[in-house]
Amino acid sequence: MKLYYNISKLACVNGHKAKKGRDMSDIGYITDGAFVTDKDKFIFAGKRDKAFELYPDAEKIDLKNKAVIPGFTDSHTHLVFGGYRVSEFMMRLEGRSYMEIMQAGGGIKSTTQATRMLSAEQMAEKTLPFVNELLSYGVTTLEIKSGYGLDKETELRQLLSMKILEEMTPIRIVKTYMGAHALPDEFKNNPSGYIRYICEEVLPAVKEQGIAKYCDVFCEKNVFSKEESAIIFDRAKGLGLGLKIHADEIEDGGTTAFGVRYGCTSTDHLLHVSDEGIEALAFGETVATLLPITAFSLKEKYAPARRLIDKGAAVAIATDCNPGSCFSDSIPLLIALSSLNMGMTFEEIICSLTLNGAAAVGNAESFGSIQEGKYADFLVLKWEDPAFLNYHICGNGV
Ligand code: NIG
Ligand code: FE
């Protein structure tokens, strides 16, 4: 047993499911707090005096009057990939759009060619530095999507590489199968053939290997339609996988409300979400995962974080780190953009990276808070006041 004390401000973010709307501001500060761990779980969080009274024999660890918050979950990344796309970034700086580049054969397809050349071990080696960077910023759980193989063999190798990565680092990885990321050349002009291939060949293999928790679909005009996404979702659900969706990223297609109706654990991006989509989130259980670094990098307008929270939605924020639309693994930048450009308060940001991030990957029962019974993933900050994470712009306060 270990008793951690002398904590200036302890943000517990208590709860076992995502906090919605106004509740996101309640992150349960305790001043002069303490907490106790037994092996890998919290067994107590509260006032220092109470901790000393209840656990006199625990090993005592002085945190020197620093702030403590729960570990972060980066709940949306595409971190297993081959090659890079620096020339596309330069093209975008000159004014070409993400979709134009994609339709001209660049984008996801170019990463797919490079990813197919890699073994699972090579993929893991390539991803490792990004994982270590995220760890340094306090990310203790990381979601990674496949979706750069598109064929069964490569998609399975991508998912396997995530398992290998888990052996290489202390981070926890939530694995998502995202075959419906782009239409591969083998199925050019044959989307229904590709959907059939996903449903009949790939999803059953993913299930059999027990190698993914979620199935994600890029549901967008000129990518996969709602009808096509529904076929994939029905199959994935039937096999026991959870659902996620890239929704209303490039334009409003009503895909957020569609995702909520389908019981997606999270609907992600939402740059162009309609009032109907916001309403669906406010009344549903789905987490709205916002990815402001992608909007920043694509020079697009941000998702309406303020309206979402004010209407009662549960918001999470994540990096979306990938070699195309958003090549950044910077949690400090994510915090800065969420605050200065999306208008989220500091408390909302902490909630969205901890409990709500955990909820976005179905982990809120056991992660995302400093409270009895949860896994002891916590961050000791360099500061007395946790708000310095926000105030010290792009500094790493962990
Ligand atoms: O979340 N929108 C689709 N997928 C990624 C981009 C992937 C890529 O460009 O390689 C995203 O932005
Ligand atoms: Fe994404």
pLDDT tens column, 338-379: 999 999 999 999 999 999 999 999 999 999 999 999 999 999
Q: Is the CB of 325 under 6 A from ligand 1?
A: yes
Q: Is the CB of 218 under 6 A from ligand 1?
A: yes
Name the band, by pLDDT with cuts 50, 70 and 90, for residue 228.
very high
Ligand closest to Cα of 298 equals 1
- 236-267, pLDDT tens digit by residue? 999 999 999 999 999 999 999 999 999 999 99
Per-residue pLDDT at 103: 83
Residue 11 CB contacts under 8 Å (≥ 6 apart), including other chains: 27, 28, 29, 67, 68, 69, 70, 350, 370, 386
Backbone angles phi, psi at 394, to 5 degrees: 60, 15
- 270-307, pLDDT tens digit by residue? 999 999 999 999 999 999 999 999 999 999 999 999 99
Contact 268, 246 (CB under 8 A): yes
- Out of 148, 246, 248, mutate this one to test ligand 1's pocket (max ligand atoms within 8 Å of CB): namely 246
Could you give the percent of the chain with pLDDT greater than 70?
100
Q: Is the CB of 244 under 6 A from ligand 1?
A: no
Q: Is the CB of 111 under 6 A from ligand 1?
A: yes
Name the band, by pLDDT with cuts 50, 70 and 90, for residue 79.
very high
Query: To 10 degrees, what angle do helices 108-116 and 152-168 make?
Result: 70
Scanning the structure block, which residue is given the tokens 């669906």? 280
Residues facing 317 on adjacent strands: 290
